[in-house]
Structure 1
Amino acid sequence: MPLVDIPGSKSLTARALFLAAAADGVTTLQRPLRSDDTEGFAEGLTRLGYRVGRTPDAWQVDGRPQGPAVPEADIHCRDGATTARFLPALAATGHGTYRFDASAQMRRRPLLPLTRALRDLGVDLRHEEAEGHHPLTVRAAGVEGGEVVLDAGQSSQYLTALLLLGPLTRTGLRITVTDLVSAPYVGITIAMMRAFGVEVGREGNTYLVPPGGYRATAYAIEPDASTASYFFAAAALTGGEVTVPGLGRGALQGDLGFVEVLRRMGARVDVGADRTTVAGTGELRGLTVTMRDISDTMPTLAAIAPFATGPVRIEDVANTRVKECDRLDACAENLRRLGAEVATGPDWIEIRPAAAGSGAAGPGPGASLTGAGIKTYGDHRIAMSFSVTGLRVPGISFDDPGCVRKTFPGFHEAFAELVKVLRKDGTG
């Protein structure tokens, strides 16, 4: 039974870096993710004047409750949405002028609901080119606090940025949310704020964040559940078995719920106290599933859907159109390149079973699929998802395999090791 060591969670690492920078004292982050996104976040903190010390297994951050240590800074957010959305909120708590820019990919992604809310709170913030997009400049003078209304229907990160900001304001925040996607990520934020000494209240759709700041702590980062989805899907697809230590019943990340989708499709799933095991049974059943709360795993499911015995329909994932790429269209296009029958709508994708028989993809559903070049659009999740498809379809290649460095630089090597074990066990 392969044990797969999954790197630390990107979502937890980004939040932990913000909290550590804002806390009173020195925080140690154990097993943080080291990837392009999180290194970009740490680099942004350094440019703002925070001290970030690194060892192979831990990062130490000297907190500054009063905000950035420098009066001016230019921060490049790379491709990182958490960096691009969280750091301007952190910078607003200080006193100075801070300019943020990002990659062409990140420049295309929306910010307006967040920046509008920050302006409503009195933050002097200007978009330099397209309104609601990077680059932007924050002329910071601290944040008083108060009441604000937020639409988080495109991204829960807008709400997370305001929640994280709340304890650093002078009077606290009262945030009323009109729409929310990926709600479990907000649960992660609130749980992590609690670990740093802040309790967020809630009245219906309104979140109440007290002032008073954070206290430093030692914080262990759990493995990334979104990344684990590719390894769990590999087990379900091949009839193999995979266990991921460190992700179990107490996990903060909602994306672990992907294993329940695999269970509905016929896989055996065991979620223990501190580990999760998925075993394939030789059959994947079709289903209709709403993935609004775990939409980062939508491409994982789409990539194995042609091998199901019935149609797979994934609904309520409109927000995946404004990720690193339009993931709905990217999945549809790449599945069609392989020979699958796919339909899409504004917020859904439906994949029909590929013809059964005995072809390049092996016996059973999916046998008619043939290898092709996968267009990643520079999106790590497209590359990792279709690597799973490649377990059953020889001849798949990627135009940008290196885009996985965003969240898992060693993905291809780790996945190849898993494939070796599965094939040794006769399941791959």
Structure 2
Amino acid sequence: MPEVALPGSKSITARALFLAAAADGVTTLRRPLRSDDTEGFAEGLTRLGYRLGRTPDSWQVDGRPQGPAAAEADVFCRDGATTARFLPALAAAGHGTYRFDASPQMRRRPLLPLTRALRDLGVDLRHEQQEGHHPLTVRAAGVEGGKVTLDAGQSSQYLTALLLLGPLTRTGLRITVTDLVSVPYVEITIAMMRAFGVRVRREGDTFVVPPGGYRATTYAVEPDASTASYFFAAAAVTGGEVTVPGLGEGALQGDLGFVEVLRRMGARVTVGRDATTVRGTGVLRGVTVNMRDISDTMPTLAAIAPFASGPVRIEDVANTRVKECDRLEACARNLRRLGAKVATGPDWIEIRPAAEAALTGSEIRSYGDHRIVMSFAVAGLRVPGISFDDPGCVRKTFPGFHEEFGALRARLESA
């Protein structure tokens, strides 16, 4: 039974870094993800004046409930959406002038619902070029708190940024959400805030966050469930078996729900106390599935869809069009390059079953998106000759992906 030891969750690591920086005392993060995104987040904290110590398996963060130590800072967020969205909210709680910029890819991604909400709370925030996009400047003088309305229909990260900010305000926040996508990521945020001493209350569409700050703790980061989807899918399409330790019944990440999609398609799935196993059965049925809440795994399902016995239709994933790239269109174009028949709409994609002999290897266009590369690596288990124009973009979340996936491939083939 091949076991795959995966790196820590990107989503959890980013939230843990924010919480540790905001907490009163020194927090130790165990087994955090070390990737371009999280290193960029940590670098941003350092530029804001927070002290970070590192060992091979942990980070220590000296928290500052009063906000950044630096009175002025320039922060480059790289490609990281969590860095680009969370750190301006953290900086707003302090006192100083903080400038944020990002890569061309991240500059294209929207920020306006979040920055509009911060302005409504009295934050002096200015977009330097295109409204609603990086670069931006925050002239921080603390945040009083109060009521705010937010549209989180494009990204749950907007809501997470405000939730994380809430305990650092003077009176707390009441956040009313008019639309919300990727609800499990918000549940991760609320659970992690609770681990740092803050309880968020939900009243219908309103999230109530008390003031009072966070307390430091020791926090273990669980393996990344989005990354696990590629390894689980590998088992499903090859008839092999894969176990991921550290992800089980108590896992925080909603993306572990991807295994339930594989179960519907015919795979055998066992979710234990501290591990999840997927075993392929030689059957891969077509399915219609709403992936609004686990949309980061949409490319994984799209990449294996041609091997199903019936059509695979993925619905309610409009937000995937504003990720690192337009993932819905990127999947469609790459599947067509392989010879698959694909149709798309504003928020859906449908892939028809393909005779394996009809699929041919081709160079996959990554569009600089790590999830496109990792997803189509799974398709490469069944279609010889697949290559990538930018295989190195996986460093964003999993620098060792190709080595780990290659090792799994060898074990599945030998089995």
TM-score (norm 1): 0.97
1:296 — aligned with what?
Answer: 296
Name the structure 1 match of 2:285.
285
Alpha-carbon deviation of 1:283?
Answer: 1.2
1:372 to 362, 370, 373: 362
Residues 1:403 and 2:363 are matched in the alignment: no
Q: Provide the rounded CA distance (Å) in 1 between the counterparts of 2:291 and 2:238.
A: 23
1:424 maps to which residue?
414
Equivalent-residue separation in structure 1 for 2:117 and 2:271 (angstroms): 39
2-structure distance, mates of 1:99, 1:229: 36
1:7-62 Cα distance to aligned partner (Å, 9 max, x none):
00000000000000000000000000000000000000000000011110000000
User: How far apart, CA to CA, are the structure 1 residues paired with 2:357 and 2:140?
Assistant: 59
State how far apart, in whole Å, the 2-side matches of 1:400 and 1:283 are.
Answer: 32
Aligned to 2:66: 66
Partner SS state of residue 330, structure 1: helix
Deviation at 1:303, TM superposition (A): 0.2
Structure 1 stretches of 5 or more lacking a match?
356-365
| Residues 62-141 of structure 1 aligned to structure 2 (within 5 Å) | 62-141=62-141
Please give the residue correspondences for 1:317-396 in structure 2 after superposition, counting only pairs within 5 Å.
317-355=317-355, 366-396=356-386
1:102-135 Cα offsets, whole Å, 9 max, x none, are 0000000000000000000000000000000000
Q: Deviations over 1:376-406 (max 9, x none)?
A: 0000000000000000000000000000000
CA distance in 2, matches of 1:369, 1:17: 44
Letter in 2 for 1:78: R
1:66 match: secondary structure: coil
Please list the CA deviations of residues 327-357 of structure 1 after superposition, one character each: whole Å capped at 9, or x if unmatched: 00000000000000000000000000012xx
Cα distance in 2 between the residues matched to 1:89 and 1:287: 40
The alignment status of 1:40 with 2:30, answered yes or no, reads no
Q: Take 1:152 and 1:319, find their aligned partners in 2: how far apart are those partners?
A: 10
Write out aligned runs for 1:257-296 (5 A). Answer: 257-296=257-296
Q: How far, CA to CA, are the matches of 2:216 and 2:403 in structure 1?
A: 36
State the distance in 2 between where 1:311 and 1:197 align.
47
* Rounded Cα–Cα distance in structure 1 between residues aligned with 2:388 and 2:54: 33
The C-alpha deviation readout for 1:181-232, integer Å capped at 9, x for no partner, is 0000000000000000000001000000000000000000000000000000
Deviation for aligned residue 1:367: 2.7
Q: Which residue of 2 aligns with 1:308?
A: 308
Residue of structure 1 in register with 2:154 after alignment: 154
Question: How many Å separate the matches in 1 of 2:30 and 2:194?
Answer: 18
- 1:388 partner letter: V
Q: Distance in 1 between the 2:205 and 2:2 partners?
A: 43
Structure 1 Cα separation of the partners of residues 281 and 98 of structure 2: 54
Query: 1:358 matched to which residue of 2?
Result: none
* Cα distance in 1 between the residues matched to 2:294 and 2:148: 26
Measure, in 2, the Cα distance between the counterparts of 1:40 and 1:70. Answer: 18
Q: Name the structure 1 match of 2:234.
A: 234
**Secondary structure at the counterpart of residue 357 of structure 2:** coil
Give the SS at the match of 1:273: coil
SS in 2 for 1:367: helix
Instruction: Report the count of equivalent residues.
Output: 415
Q: Give the distance between the partners of 1:272 and 1:318, measured in 2 at CA.
A: 32
**What letter corresponds to residue 174 of structure 2 in structure 1?**
R
Measured after TM superposition, the shift of residue 368 of structure 1 is 1.1
What does residue 248 of structure 1 align with? 248
Root-mean-square deviation over aligned CA pairs: 0.3
Query: For residues 191 and 362 of structure 2, what CA distance do their matches in structure 1 show?
Result: 43
Separation in structure 1 between the aligned mates of residue 154 and residue 55 of structure 2, nearest angstrom: 36
Say whether residues 1:211 and 2:211 are aligned partners: yes
- SS of the residue corresponding to residue 377 of structure 2 reads helix
| Structure 2 SS opposite 1:212 | coil
Q: TM-score, normalised by structure 2?
A: 1.00
Partner Cα distance (1:352, 1:57) in 2? 44
Tell me which amino acid in the other structure corresponds to 1:418.
L
The percent of aligned pairs where both chains have the same amino acid is: 86
Counterpart of 2:56 in structure 1 is 56
The one-letter code sitting in structure 2 at the alignment partner of 1:423 is: E
- Which residue identity is paired with 2:103? S
